[in-house]
Amino acid sequence: MAFAYNEGMRQADSSTVYVAFGGNQGDVRSTVQSALEALSALTGSGVRCSSFWASAPVGMAEDAGEFLNGVAAFETRLEPLGLLQALQALEVRFGRPAAHGVNQDRTLDLDILLYGDQLIDLPALQVPHPRMTSRLFVLLPLQELLKEPLQEPGMELRIPGENRSLDELIAAAPAMRISRSPIPPVPVLQPPRVPDGQLRAD
């Protein structure tokens, strides 16, 4: 297609994307809200967001702060690697050092969970996210988001390459201490008025 890689790697049709967010440093709610507002401007899409879910850090220093995680859903014409680049730019812009170790404190982590019904297996990008099916801090907010009234009735999420339903994955996931946080969720972000394609990543 002639314009598949123009305009920052945008595609003709939009896809529904689910992105997991998380952090345990600084004001995570405000960081997540700013990042999702930037994502809404970049994609030209509204963004819906789960509650924040709180869990104790695992395998980290004893004084590490609790993690707040959640899932956001939006539409985009950015192709998957373009979206990954945009998310990584937001992680850096909102304070996360570009080089960091596994299990390190972080202000913001943004992972692509699902990109439409695509199965992607590239060195830099695997979708569905390979660890999403066993992480309650992803599965519970995803389930919450899918139960919202804005969702089309009767729509069941299918995870490409996975036969089990979300409820079955939740029942089988390793136990962890996690609860819905009283921190107010990021409100639904309305689509910006400028149509997709006229905005650029900065």
Q: Is the peptide bond before 128 cis (omega within 30 degrees of 0)?
A: yes
User: Which residues of the chain form contacts with Mg ion (CB under 5 A)?
Assistant: 109, 111
Residue 112 makes contact with ligand ADP by CB under 6 A: yes
Tokens of 196: 């997709």
Nearer to ligand ADP by Cβ, of 103 and 190: the residue is 103
- Minimum distance between the CB of residue 134 and ligand ADP, rounded to whole angstroms? 13
Give the count of residues interacting with ligand ADP (CB under 6 A): 9
Nearer to ligand ADP by Cβ, of 125 and 191: the residue is 125
Residue 79 makes contact with ligand ADP by CB under 6 A: no
Nearer to Mg ion by Cβ, of 108 and 159: the residue is 108
Residue 127 makes contact with ligand ADP by CB under 6 A: yes
Residues 75, 146, 125, 70: what is their CA dihedral angle, to the nearest 10 degrees?
A: 100
> Known catalytic residues?
96, 106, 109, 111
Are 165 and 172 within 8 A, CB to CB?
Answer: no
How far apart (Å, rounded) are the C-alpha atoms in residues 40 and 37?
A: 5
Beta bridge mates, 173: none
Tokens of 17: 């994307």
Are 151 and 56 within 8 A, CB to CB?
Answer: no
> Residue 68: which of ligand ADP, Mg ion, none does it interact with, CB under 5 to 8 A by kind?
none
Identify which of 183, 80, 160 has the alpha carbon closest to the alpha carbon of residue 122. Answer: 80
SS3 label, residue 164: coil
Residue 109 makes contact with ligand ADP by CB under 6 A: yes
* Residue range at the interface with ligand ADP (CB under 6 A); choices 26-34, 63-71, 126-134, 188-196: 126-134
Among 126, 151, 179, 190, binds ligand ADP (CB under 6 A): 126
How far apart (Å, rounded) are the C-alpha atoms in residues 5 and 54?
A: 39
Residue 92 makes contact with ligand ADP by CB under 6 A: no
Among 15, 94, 108, 111, binds ligand ADP (CB under 6 A): 111
- State the residues that interact with ligand ADP by CB under 6 A: 84, 109, 111-112, 124-127, 129
